[in-house]
Amino acid sequence: MKVLIGAFAHESNDFCPGFTTREMFEFYEGQDVLDHLPVSDIFQKAGIEMVPSIFACAQSYGPVEKETYLYFEGKILDTLRQNPDIDGIWMFCHGAMNVEEIGSGEYRLACDMREITGDRCAISFGMDLHGNLEEDFCRQVNIFRCYHTAPHTDQADTYRRTAQTLVHYLQHGYRIFPQMRKLPMIFPGEMAATTVEPMQGIIAQLKQWEASDPAIACASMYVGFAWTDAPRTSSTVVVVPATPEDEAYCAKKADELAAAVFDKRKEFCFEMPALPPRETVEESFRLPAPVCVTDMGDNPTAGTTGGSLVLLKEYLAAGSGGKRVLIAGIYDPQAFSSCIAHSPGDVFTLRLGLDIDSVTQPVDIRVIYRGCHKVLGYDFITNPPIERCQSCTVSIGNIDIVITNRPYAFTQKVNFSSCQLDPRKYDVFVTKFGYIFPELKELGQSYIMSNTPGESYQMIAELPYRKINRPIFPLDHI
């Protein structure tokens, strides 16, 4: 037997002003594809030949440019056509890719693959919990399951479970489809952390089913991605049958799960204090240090520009009061270029700000240049860190600012250490993210989620949606 292996993933923010283009994707072909995905040993053990297609993953940003999508999809489809005896397909696909003039990238890919393979091929996707799924997605893909953690720490577990289920289907000749239920509700991911209720209890139920119910191969709760403005944007529950005989039973379990989750819709909330920007600054000076602050409205992992100056301006206006503050990092390629023209220790006036909207209005600041570094980070924790962007550090009194040449969220210890920074030596450190990521929790003693304006603004009922299906909670009172 032969299985095609690959990854094509993106989370697309429709409120971001730009498009995601080809050069923004981390791209591999050949053996490198298998090396970046932790599933090879599963297929090897089953005696199944693997055919690598592509690994193409980009950090969240605006919708994927149509030409870019077709370029990568074409490579996957070419691999399929060159291997007409493929029995199965395993892919990592995010679930919230939105493509210019096309719509759902995952759905388009699944349909186009199915057109080539017909019903003879079993298709399995490992996915993100923040996927928005088309109504007909479950008629194209045989197996799909999303992460059970947010913040995400179980990517490898999800990929491996969907790979193992694909092996099970292939060994038994199964060509069955999941039971999927769309729910008229949508939340920002920060209100659906799996570390607190109600998601904690929902995930515990899914894990129990997967561990102890032989009729259920996979069970998922897709929170959805609130910043994609599309009819498919909503939460979804999915139950994947273990055998054809289990389909009717899994349909009942999907109905049961959908009803239970929807009944809890008013319980979804932030996992810890979420404060407006000015209150964030005031409270961060009162709490035990180091205080980790996340800039929720400008979260590059949710597709923002990463250039908001809202919290920087608040800290500058408040004065540090003797407190040491680190802000990492602010995206501004022009300011980055200005910095690297200087030598460490130079004092100069820096104009900082992308000047593309109200949260990136420039500010002129007198800074001391500290130096330039390559920011290292990993995509999956199973892979070694590589260069993600470059950064410059400048100082204004007790405030250190990291300026990057690409949007990037500092969420991993290696992000800071590669810049010779230790957040534990500051009273407050600010990062452009939503959740308090596990590694950030290890670095901090106190935590604040700052409800800042921006392209990942958390008060989604105030967003100018045009395409999302209505009624939907919490935009509507249902």
DSSP assignment of 454-467 = STT-S-GGGS--SS
Measured distance between the N- and C-terminal CA atoms of the chain, rounded to whole angstroms: 49
* CB atoms near residue 249 (< 10 Å): 17
Looking at residue 437, its pLDDT comes to 87
Reference 2, options 47, 40, 36, 34; nearest CA is 47
pTM of the full structure: 0.95
pLDDT in tens, 438-470: 999 999 999 999 999 999 999 999 999 999 999
Q: Give pLDDT, residue 379.
A: 79
In 230-276, alpha helices (H)? 247-263
pLDDT for the residue 454: 97
Strands (E) across 276-346 are located at: 291-295, 325-331
| CB-based contact 269:191 (threshold 8 Å) | yes
pLDDT of residue 33: 98
The per-residue pLDDT of the chain, averaged, comes to 97
Q: Provide the β-strand partners of residue 93.
A: none
Contact 299, 474 (CB under 8 A): no
Strand pairing category for 235-241 and 179-183: antiparallel
Confidence (pLDDT) at 321:
80
Per-residue b/e over 308-334, b at no fewer than 16 CB within 10 Å? bbbbbbbbbeeebeebbbbbbbbbbeb
d(CA 436, CA 448) in angstroms, rounded, equals 8
Query: What is the model's pLDDT at position 273?
Result: 87
Report pLDDT for 320: 75
pLDDT at 384: 86
**Gap between the Cα atoms of 408 and 60, Å rounded:** 10
Radius of gyration of the chain (CA): 23
Sheet holding 179-183, edge to edge: 179-183, 235-241, 216-222
What DSSP string describes 200-222? HHHHHHHHHHHHH-TTEEEEEEE
> Given the structure tokens 């186009």, which residue do they identify?
112
Q: Please, what are the averages of pLDDT over each run of 10 residues along the chain (478 residues)?
A: 98 96 97 97 98 97 98 98 98 98 98 96 98 98 98 95 98 96 97 97 98 98 98 98 98 98 97 94 97 98 97 94 95 98 98 97 98 92 88 97 97 97 98 92 97 97 97 97
What angle (nearest 5°) sits at the alpha carbon of residue 206, between those of residues 40 and 229?
A: 85
Q: What is the Cα–Cα distance from 408 to 233, expressed in whole angstroms?
A: 25
Please tell me the predicted confidence (pLDDT) of residue 294: 98
Element (H, E) at 315: helix 310-318
Beta-strand (E) ranges in 59-132? 88-92, 98-99, 103-104, 122-127
The pair of three-digit structure tokens given for residue 445, joined into one six-digit string: 């003693």
Q: How far apart, in whole angstroms, are the C-alpha atoms of residue 24 and residue 19? A: 10
- In order of 44, 304, 348, 378, the CA distances from 3 in angstroms are 11, 36, 58, 26
